[in-house]
Amino acid sequence: MAALKPLLAKPWIWSFIGALLVWLATIAFTGGYGAGGMVTAALSLAVFTVIVGVGQMFVITLGPGNVDLSLPANIGLASAVAMKVMDGNDSMIAVGLLAALACGATVGAVNYLLIWALRIPPIIATLSASFIIQSIDISYGRGLQIKPPPGFADFANWQILGVPVLAILTVLFTIGAAIALQRMIYGRSVLAIGQNIRAAWLAGVNVGRIRFLTYTLSGALGGIDGALLAGYFRGANVDIGNEYLLASIAVVVIGGTSVAGGKANVPGVWGAALFLVLLLTMLNTFGVSAGVRLLLTGLIIVGVITAAGGQKAPR
Amino acid sequence: MTAASLDTAARTSAERGALARARLLRGLLPALSLALVLLAIAWLNPRAISYFGFSLMLNLAIPIALATIAQMFVIAGNELDLSIGTFVGFVGCVTATWLKDAPLIGAVILLGSIGVYALLGALIHLRNLPSIVVTLGMSFVWQGLAILVLPKPGGKAPDWLLGLMAFKPPFIPFPIVAALLIGLIVHFGLMRTSYGVILRGSGGNPAALGRAGWSLLRTKIVLFALAGLFGVLSGMALIGITTSADANIGNGYTLLAIAGVILGGGEFVGGRVSPIGAVIGALTLALAASPLLTFMHIPPDWQVAANGAILIIVLAARVLISRRER
């Protein structure tokens, strides 16, 4: 028990406990049937939420009001760009991924440009940007019927012993993100800005550059996510990123990152993403209708947020 | 000595004049952008500037204006409501089903949903929750409920509502009359009454207001309940125009409403909002998104982008004016 105590004090442990409980409830319902397959499916789907969740986490950590609302539109556009560049051709996979990355990074950079040039709250800047990106995507990706290259689709769905390879790569990526957050100048600067932007500036942190990098990073991750989603679901789609607005913000908050900024948590993003995906699986297994599923998802998110409570913004 | 002091006096008064002009310009910005859009429409298609043309072009302006006002109340309290769109959709579904078939139950449901909004305000205040996440979660709740109420697009608006929305006043098209009325009523309530000042103050300086003995819990509940009330009105007005409902009918309103508030001169923090500006902002968006683009022969794909572009242009103009203010 004594060994458990420091573990229980970690803010991210609750999201994993939640995920575990939901999983147990589901296999209790199915009588143990499909327990392993469910974990595999949950891991494959959670990956997409984790990737954008990490980007959103860095943005939210910058402090109150910082949030990237352009992720869904960004994901949609990048998925179309990736599919068009790859054009069903295995030799173009790397180029397509780079194109999606560049597309996302550009969106992120434009977001910051708007915030900086117009001195408007990030919510409005990313919102206006998302309007425009959405239109570009609708116009550019209309009727896009290009399938991903077979090699790319196989890669996105590749599993080793029931563990999706994409999930392994994403775990490595999140470890890198955690190191960047806690041990590198960039991450410490993000945390410092979130805790007190003025103090960070006085301490010599290049606030503008760090914020620019963070929004570009979030955009780039959205871009990669779009390409991977198109590979996994075998095709691009304007609406492919829609659910990732709520999901990216929810996993950050449920995962124990402070909405007031200055306190981030990488493992929690994984726990929360698994929790959300398993929750959907559970509701599907219980055979509830679409309406009830949406209703319960919403109620559970509100409930979890209420239970977790908010912290007073440090002043 | 007198020359020097006269000089400074003259300069400060000149500066003050410039400052006042910049403020005035800033206050007029929403109206100016609406005028610009109207001019563009008049230039592209003079026939649109008529009683019939306005009734047609501003067809959906009333629900958008009402949803924008709802969002404005939430923003006045330094919060953000990402669920207003699906809430409008939910209200629409209830209006097209329960409110027509069993008016009493329908009315109770709608009043109850305003109560839910009030409770959300209390919850957000008491637990100090981020409103973005709570309302994002609620957007799923409303959408789920809407699908449960009306699984397939359909239903029918109550006749009295259809009659109300089809009202044709003399000389001035109904949408303009309604928008004016909405703007003036909310303007009076929020800007001219003493409790309106308290409500805006709860966004401007909550700490000061709390120390002065006002209940911040109550202001938040009132602001959210008002948002719920105007959300209900928006959903009902929408169904009065479209005559039938669909669970996804209001989804676009969330972002449109935020854009409308900001276009209308609202600020994200500090309780600085303007009801008349918000209505004007909503009208601008309603006009610019579809009629203007149609007259310019731009495909509807770019409708959403037009909203984004207008938002960016107006905010850029605001920055230029603010720079002069300094």
DSSP letters of B60-112?
THHHHHHHHHHHHHHHHTT---S-HHHHHHHHHHHHHTHHHH-HHHHHHHHHH
Across the interface, do B269 and A65 touch by the CB < 8 Å criterion? yes
B236 found inside a domain: yes
If you average pLDDT over residues B163-169, what whole number do you get?
85
CB contact under 8 A, A135 and B315: no
- Give the pairing type, strands A163-164 and A159-160: antiparallel
Q: Which amino acid is at A32?
A: G
Length of chain A: 315
> B282-306, pLDDT tens digit by residue?
998 888 877 777 788 888 778 778 8
Give the span between the Cα atoms of A152 and A146, in whole angstroms: 13
Q: Give the burial string for A60-83 (b: 16+ CB within 10 Å, else e).
A: bbbbbbbbbbbbbbbbbbbbbbbb
Q: What is the DSSP string of A102-129?
A: HHHHHHHHHHHHHHHHH---HHHHHHHH
CA proximity to A121, closest of A73, A74, A64: A64
Task: Give the number of other CB atoms < 10 A from CB of residue B23.
Answer: 14
Displacement of CA A34 from its chain's centroid (Å): 26
Residue of A135, A140, A280, A311 for testing the chain B interface, max B β-carbons within 10 Å: A135
In a mutagenesis test of the A interface, which of B86, B136, B273 is the best target, namely the one with the most A β-carbons within 10 Å?
B136
For residue B179, the number of C-alpha atoms closer than 13 Å in the C-beta half-sphere is 26
- The one-letter amino acid code at B148 reads L
pLDDT at B12: 67
Ordered alpha helix ranges (H), B127-274: 131-149, 159-165, 174-187, 194-204, 206-211, 216-242, 253-263
CB-CB contact of B182 with B251 (8 Å):
no
Q: Report yes or no: B290 and A110 within 8 Å, Cβ to Cβ.
A: no
The average confidence (pLDDT) of chain A is: 87
Q: Is the pLDDT of residue B106 over 60?
A: yes
Q: What is the mean pLDDT of residues B231-249?
A: 92
CA distance B326 to B286: 33
**Quick check: A297 and A280 in contact, CB under 8 A?**
yes
Residues 6+ apart with CB under 8 A from A162: A36, A37, A39, A40
Distance from CA of A111 to the nearest CA of B (A): 11
CA distance linking residue B32 with residue B280, whole number of Å: 10
Asked if B292 and B39 count as a contact pair (C-beta separation under 8 A), the reply is no
CB A228 within 8 A of CB A51: yes
CATH number, residue B148: 1.10.3470
B22 within some domain: no
Q: Is A131 in CB contact (< 8 Å) with chain B?
A: yes
Decide: A69 and A130 in contact? Cβ < 8 Å.
Answer: yes
In the DSSP assignment, the letter for residue A262 is S
Coil, helix or strand at residue A160: strand
Structure tokens at A14: 């609750």
Sign of CA dihedral A199, A205, A207, A208: positive
Binned average pLDDT, 10 residues per bin, chain A of 315 residues: 65 83 87 82 92 94 88 93 88 91 95 89 87 88 79 86 89 94 91 90 91 95 94 85 86 84 88 91 86 90 78 43
Q: Token pair for residue B21?
A: 């002009």
The DSSP line for A290-314 is: HHHHHHHHHHHHHHHHHHH--PPPP
Residues 251-270, chain A, touching B (beta carbon < 8 A): 253, 259
Burial of B232 (0-12, 13-18, 19+ CB in 10 A): buried
Cβ count within 10 A of residue B154 = 12
Task: Please give the tally of structural domains in chain B.
Answer: 1
| Tokens linked to B90 | 């939910």
Domain that holds residue B46: 29-325
Partners of residue A164 on adjacent β-strands: A159
For B41-69, what is the mean pLDDT?
87
CA distance A289 to B114: 25
Q: Does A143 touch chain B (CB under 8 A)?
A: no
The CA distance from A226 to A137, in Å, is: 12
**Residue for token pair 């290049």:** A206
List of chain A residues whose C-beta atoms are within 8 Å of the C-beta of residue B136: 245-246, 249-250, 301
pLDDT the model gives residue A106 = 96
Residue B9 belongs to a domain: no
Nearest to A142 by CA among A77, A96, A88, A95: A77
Is residue B228 within 8 Å of residue B88, measured between CB atoms? no
Q: Cα B161 to chain center, whole Å? A: 21
B90, pLDDT greater than 90: yes
The CATH number, out of the four listed (3.90.550, 1.10.3470, 1.10.510, 3.30.390), of the domain defined by the range A13-19+35-307: 1.10.3470
Record the tokens describing residue B280, joined without a space: 């004007």
How confident is the model over A37-65, as pLDDT tens digits?
888 888 999 999 999 999 999 999 998 88
Minimum distance, in Å, between the CA of residue A242 and any CA atom of chain B: 12
**Could A131 and B127 be called an inter-chain contact, meaning their C-beta atoms sit closer than 8 Å?**
no
The token duo for A49 is: 């939420």
Q: In whole angstroms, give the CA distance from residue B174 to residue B179.
A: 8
* pLDDT tens figures, A200-259: 999 988 999 999 999 999 999 999 999 999 999 888 888 888 889 888 988 888 888 887
* Contacts across the A-B interface (CB distance below 8 Å): 145
The per-residue pLDDT for B324 is 66
Checking if the pLDDT of B92 tops 70, the result is: yes
pLDDT tens digits, B20-39: 777 777 778 888 888 988 88
In which band, very low, low, confident or very high, does the pLDDT at B308 lie, cut at 50, 70 and 90?
Answer: confident
Q: Give the residue from A117, A111, A119 showing the smallest Cα distance to A68.
A: A111
Chain A interface disruption, residue of B312, B318, B320, B323, most A CBs within 10 A: B312
Per-residue pLDDT band for B52 (boundaries 50, 70, 90) equals confident
ipTM of the complex: 0.82
Looking at CA atoms only, how far is residue B130 from chain A in angstroms?
Answer: 7
The whole-angstrom separation of Cα B22 and Cα B192 is 24
Task: Read off the pLDDT of residues B171-227 as tens digits, 9 standing for 90 and up.
Answer: 888 888 899 999 999 999 998 999 999 999 898 888 999 999 999 999 999 999 999
Q: What are phi and psi of B240, to 5 degrees?
A: -60, -30
Residues of B in contact with A142 (CB under 8 A): 301
Q: Which residues of A touch B265 (CB under 8 A)?
A: none
Rounded CA-CA distance B318/A164 in Å is 50
Amino acid identity for residue A134 in this structure: Q
B2 vs chain A: nearest CA distance in angstroms?
A: 42
Q: In angstroms, what separates the C-alpha of A21 from chain B's closest C-alpha?
A: 21
Q: What is the DSSP string of B268-313?
A: SSSS---HHHHHHHHHHHHHIIIIIHHHTT--GGGHHHHHHHHHHH
Q: How far apart are CA A27 and CA A21, in angstroms?
A: 10
Cβ proximity of A139 and B302 under 8 Å: yes
- The pLDDT score that the predictor gives to residue A312 is 47
Residues forming beta bridges with residue A163, ordered by sequence position: A160
pLDDT of residue B259: 86
Torsion angle (degrees, nearest 10) of CA A135, A140, A141, A145 = 160
Neighbours of B297 (CB within 10 A): 7
Residue B171, class by beta-carbon neighbours within 10 Å (0-12 exposed, 13-18 middle, 19+ buried)?
exposed
In-domain check, residue B266: yes
